[in-house]
């Protein structure tokens, strides 16, 4: 019977000894459940524990504490070659002395598959990654993108329960990377295989994933769908790491069942009507955040939740114009989409111009202090 | 004129290659031609070269003899063919033994902790700081009747009251083989180490990931990827072993005569440079043929450059 979870990490710790001789928890009490058939990403900057977590699922590393389950079975110290998972390596790790065909056939030969069976399956998987006819080439004769597809094909030909991908697109240029993101996602949906994807690129994770685990310092900071992580970050780290945010230190002035009024000393102002979840108390010190694209610039003052400031800088980046506004000594980022084509610089905000910022309460988030 | 040179790419190439060409002509082509010319000459009674065009030296090498027991004018004497064959088989055996000894050691060093690798490599290189001849003499001290090995064995036998006659190890083909293997071991270890060390760790992981256990990973990934090192090492070992005469001279005495010894004696003792030159050229041709077929099968070891 199929298990609900393809992979489960239960309170996993991985300790490393640093060159200085100190003990370091590269993975620090991580628990997560990866559902069958989902595209799951581990996202974080380098050293956050994402790759180590992936390597523990693959079996290249064993947890110091805790347990890794694959399809409900505790893995313990099962070696990689006895696990029904396959890996696409960051460096592709293709065998340079073998042809494309031999590279892909390698895993099938290890299973002891028959020759005609191998030929059939290699042909099929090459069609899947659109590289038919490349069988007799050596990996060195292929472009980076093609090598990447061979690495995917070599892992997929074994029809693993889980495909592990360790920053597989890191070496490709931007345009190719974006194409491959969509292709990988389509492949995953077509095959229904669980993908566990490690990346430091938040846009990549957002584009492809059903769910994302945002990691930092060996811990899972938040686990959820891309929209949850972006719109409802669990803490200041996630709000800061995913996308851009404006932060203000504040205090809860009054609290009703669904709404709060927050006083922000830096602005000497209140933000009213912020929707909040439970767990907050009156008078609590909190952090308020708002995404730059959710701050509106208004020509004339409005009544509530408006703040007067001066434009200090504008940066045109094509899709958007980034406007930096000084609010009582605090710099606020505002992203305005360039919805109209115009070449007249005068139509942008000019430095020194007085503006009014509107922060709609439903766009303002209240984050607990850590 | 300088301006014209700047525009003429092919003239630039020729000019840049000239020093190398001069070197090659002076140090390789001319000596080779001299050897070739001398090998067709004849020896005068007082040991000088009479320049002529005679194939006598080559005919003699391949078994034609005028010094016969039964009073015939000419007969077949395989003496020199035996020497050539002995050199070839010894070089082959040495190379095989060196590969078998060097590979595990190189593998061990390549998989050792990076901080310790340099120490191990250093230990491999230390013997090379001692003179080649002295190292061979050291083996003489070990192998002779009153040598360290026999003394040690005698002491052991004495402990258990076993009668012991010292082993005759020196001046045997075995002694020459041991000496050769010892002398040329580092030249195999280094290129194999270089090619093993270049194998990215992720390839071992990929093999394991695809279902290969340790043994299969070695056979399908490690060994093929380190073959360039083995090939380079083979070239570095086989060719010098074919030509060297010091090891067989010291450890083989008069018992084990190789082409190297033959050539040396023709020039120094027998004072017949014409026959010595012919033997040198035959040695070169033999080595070239073997190397040609070997590299055609396994390719040129890229590591030869590194080593």
pLDDT tens for residues A326-354?
998 899 999 988 887 777 756 678 888 88
The question of ipTM being above 0.90 is answered as no
pLDDT of B106 strictly over 80: yes
Q: What is the pLDDT of residue B47?
A: 79
Cβ–Cβ contact B59 with A under 8 A:
no
Residues 66-85 of A with CB under 8 A from B: 79-81, 85
Cβ–Cβ contact A107 with B under 8 A:
yes
Select the residue of A93, A111, A154 nearest B205 (Cβ to Cβ): A93
At A114 the three-state DSSP class reads coil
Residue B303's pLDDT band (boundaries 50, 70, 90)?
very low
**What percentage of chain A has pLDDT greater than the value 70?**
96
The stretch B53-57 carries a mean pLDDT of: 90
The token duo for B92 is: 């082959």
Per-chain mean pLDDT for chain A: 91
Residues A216, A44 contacting (CB under 8 angstroms):
yes
Q: Which of B207, B211, B225, B229 should one mutate to test binding to chain A, selecting the residue with the greatest count of A CBs within 10 A?
A: B211
Strand partners, A74: A69
Cβ–Cβ contact B206 with A under 8 A:
yes
Chain B residues close to A51, C-beta within 8 Å: none
Residue B48's pLDDT band (boundaries 50, 70, 90)?
confident
* Axis-axis angle for helices A100-111, A115-128 (nearest 10): 130
Q: Which residue of B has its CA nearest to A166?
A: B202
Residues A333, A324 contacting (CB under 8 angstroms):
yes
Residues A261, A270 contacting (CB under 8 angstroms):
yes
Cβ–Cβ contact A315 with B under 8 A:
no
Q: A144-153, A338-347, B136-145, B226-235: which range is least confident on average?
A: A338-347
Chain A residues close to B302, C-beta within 8 Å: none
The stretch B74-85 carries a mean pLDDT of: 89
Select the residue of B202, B208, B225 nearest A80 (Cβ to Cβ): B208
pLDDT of B81 strictly over 70: yes
- Specify the DSSP class assigned to residue A347: G
Residue B305's pLDDT band (boundaries 50, 70, 90)?
very low
Per the CB < 8 Å rule, is B207 touching A158?
Answer: no
pLDDT tens for residues A268-297?
888 888 888 777 888 889 999 999 999 998
pLDDT tens for residues A86-116?
999 999 999 999 999 999 999 999 999 999 9
C-alpha count within 13 angstroms, C-beta hemisphere, residue B15: 8
Among the listed residues B59, B51, B31, the one whose alpha carbon sits nearest the alpha carbon of residue B282: B59
Per the CB < 8 Å rule, is A60 touching B208?
Answer: yes
Per the CB < 8 Å rule, is A96 touching B224?
Answer: no
Q: What's the rounded Cα separation, in Å, for the pair A91 and A169?
A: 10
Chain A residues close to B220, C-beta within 8 Å: 106
Q: State whether CATH 3.40.50.300 applies to domain A5-240.
A: yes
Per the CB < 8 Å rule, is B213 touching A93?
Answer: no
**Positive or negative CA dihedral for A158, A161, A166, A169?**
positive
Q: Which residue of B has its CA nearest to A104?
A: B210
Q: Which residue of B has its CA nearest to A90?
A: B202
Cβ–Cβ contact A121 with B under 8 A:
no
At A177 the three-state DSSP class reads helix
Domain locations along chain A: 5-240, 244-368
Measured CA distances, B277 to A205, B86, B107, B197, B259 (Å)? 74, 19, 42, 42, 12
Residues 175-234 of A with CB under 8 A from B: none
Q: What is the pLDDT of residue A345?
A: 59
Cβ–Cβ contact B67 with A under 8 A:
no
Residues A251, A227 contacting (CB under 8 angstroms):
no
CATH architecture, domain A244-368: Beta Barrel (2.40)
Q: What is the pLDDT of residue A30?
A: 96
Select the residue of A79, A93, A97 nearest B202 (Cβ to Cβ): A93
Cβ–Cβ contact A91 with B under 8 A:
yes
Assessment of whether the complete model's pTM goes beyond 0.80: yes
Chain A residues close to B216, C-beta within 8 Å: 110
Domain locations along chain B: 79-306
pLDDT tens for residues B5-38?
888 888 888 899 999 999 999 999 999 999 999 9
Residue B164's pLDDT band (boundaries 50, 70, 90)?
confident
The stretch B79-108 carries a mean pLDDT of: 95
Chain A residues close to B231, C-beta within 8 Å: none
Per the CB < 8 Å rule, is B211 touching A89?
Answer: no
The token duo for A2 is: 């199929």
Q: A42-51, B161-170, B184-193: which range is least confident on average?
A: B161-170
pLDDT tens for residues A204-216?
999 999 999 999 9
Measured CA distances, A349 to A243, A250, A324 (Å)? 23, 29, 10
**What percentage of chain B has pLDDT greater than the value 70?**
97
Q: State whether CATH 1.10.1660.10 applies to domain B79-306.
A: no
Select the residue of B202, B210, B225 nearest A97 (Cβ to Cβ): B225
Q: What is the pLDDT of residue B306?
A: 41
The stretch A196-200 carries a mean pLDDT of: 96
Per the CB < 8 Å rule, is B203 touching A60?
Answer: no
Chain A residues close to B207, C-beta within 8 Å: 95, 106
Q: Strands B49-50 and B42-43, how do they pair?
A: antiparallel
The stretch B238-256 carries a mean pLDDT of: 89
Chain A residues close to B214, C-beta within 8 Å: none
């Amino acid at each position: 019977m199929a298990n609900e979870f393809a992979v489960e990490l239960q309170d996993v710790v991985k300790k490393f000894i640093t060159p200085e001789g100190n003990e370091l928890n590269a993975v620090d009490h991580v628990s997560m459940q990866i559902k069958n058939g989902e595209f799951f990403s581990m996202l974080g900057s380098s050293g956050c524990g994402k790759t180590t977590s992936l390597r523990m699922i693959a079996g290249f590393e064993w947890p110091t504490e805790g347990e890794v389950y694959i399809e409900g079975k505790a893995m313990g110290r099962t070696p990689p070659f006895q696990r029904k998972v396959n890996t696409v390596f960051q460096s592709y790790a293709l065998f340079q002395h073998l042809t494309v065909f031999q590279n892909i056939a390698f895993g099938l030969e290890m299973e002891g598959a028959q020759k005609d069976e191998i030929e059939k399956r290699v042909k099929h998987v090459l069609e899947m990654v659109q590289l038919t006819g490349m069988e007799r080439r050596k990996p060195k004769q292929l472009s980076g993108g093609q090598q990447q597809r061979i690495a995917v094909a070599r892992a997929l030909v074994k029809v693993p329960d889980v495909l592990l991908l360790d920053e597989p697109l890191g070496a490709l240029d931007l345009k190719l990377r974006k194409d491959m993101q969509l292709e990988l996602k389509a492949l995953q949906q077509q095959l229904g295989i669980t993908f566990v994807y490690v990346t430091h690129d938040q846009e990549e994770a957002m584009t492809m994933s059903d769910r994302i685990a945002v990691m930092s310092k060996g811990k899972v900071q938040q686990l959820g769908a891309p929209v949850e992580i972006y719109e409802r970050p669990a803490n200041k780290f996630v709000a800061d790491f995913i996308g851009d945010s404006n932060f203000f230190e504040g205090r809860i002035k009054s609290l009703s069942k669904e709404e709060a009024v927050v006083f922000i000393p830096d602005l000497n102002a209140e933000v009213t009507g912020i929707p909040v979840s439970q767990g907050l108390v009156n008078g609590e010190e909190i952090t308020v955040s708002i995404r730059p694209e959710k701050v509106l610039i208004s020509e004339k003052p409005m009544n509530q939740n408006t703040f007067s400031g001066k434009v200090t800088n504008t940066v045109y980046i094509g899709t958007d114009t980034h406007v930096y506004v000084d609010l009582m000594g605090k710099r606020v980022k505002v992203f305005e989409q360039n919805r109209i084509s115009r070449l007249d610089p005068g139509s942008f905000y000019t430095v020194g111009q007085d503006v009014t910022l509107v922060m709609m309460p439903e766009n303002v988030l209240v984050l607990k202090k850590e | 004129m300088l301006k014209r040179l700047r525009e003429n790419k092919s003239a630039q190439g020729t000019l840049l290659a000239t020093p190398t060409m001069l070197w090659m002509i002076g140090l390789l082509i001319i000596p080779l031609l001299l050897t070739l010319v001398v090998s067709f000459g004849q020896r005068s009674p007082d040991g000088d070269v009479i320049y002529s065009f005679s194939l006598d030296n080559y005919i003699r090498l391949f078994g034609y003899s005028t010094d016969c027991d039964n009073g015939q004018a000419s007969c077949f004497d395989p003496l020199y063919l035996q020497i050539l064959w002995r050199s070839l088989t010894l070089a082959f055996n040495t190379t095989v033994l060196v590969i078998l000894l060097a590979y595990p050691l190189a593998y061990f060093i390549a998989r050792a902790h990076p901080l310790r690798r340099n120490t191990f490599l250093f230990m491999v290189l230390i013997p090379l700081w001692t003179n080649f001849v002295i190292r061979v003499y050291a083996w003489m001290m070990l192998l002779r009747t009153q040598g360290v090995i026999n003394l040690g064995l005698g002491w052991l036998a004495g402990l258990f009251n076993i009668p012991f006659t010292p082993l005759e190890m020196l001046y045997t083909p075995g002694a020459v083989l041991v000496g050769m293997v010892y002398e040329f071991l580092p030249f195999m270890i280094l290129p194999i180490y270089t090619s093993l060390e270049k194998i990215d760790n992720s390839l071992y992981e990929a093999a394991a990931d695809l279902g290969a256990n340790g043994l299969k990973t070695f056979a399908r990934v490690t060994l093929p990827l380190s073959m360039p090192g083995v090939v380079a090492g083979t070239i570095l070992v086989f060719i010098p072993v074919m030509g060297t005469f010091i090891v067989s001279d010291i450890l083989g005495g008069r018992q084990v005569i190789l082409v190297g010894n033959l050539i040396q004696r023709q020039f120094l003792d027998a004072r017949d440079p014409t026959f010595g030159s012919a033997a040198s050229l035959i040695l070169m041709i033999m080595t070239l043929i073997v190397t040609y077929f070997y590299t055609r099968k396994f390719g040129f070891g890229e590591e030869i450059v590194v080593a």
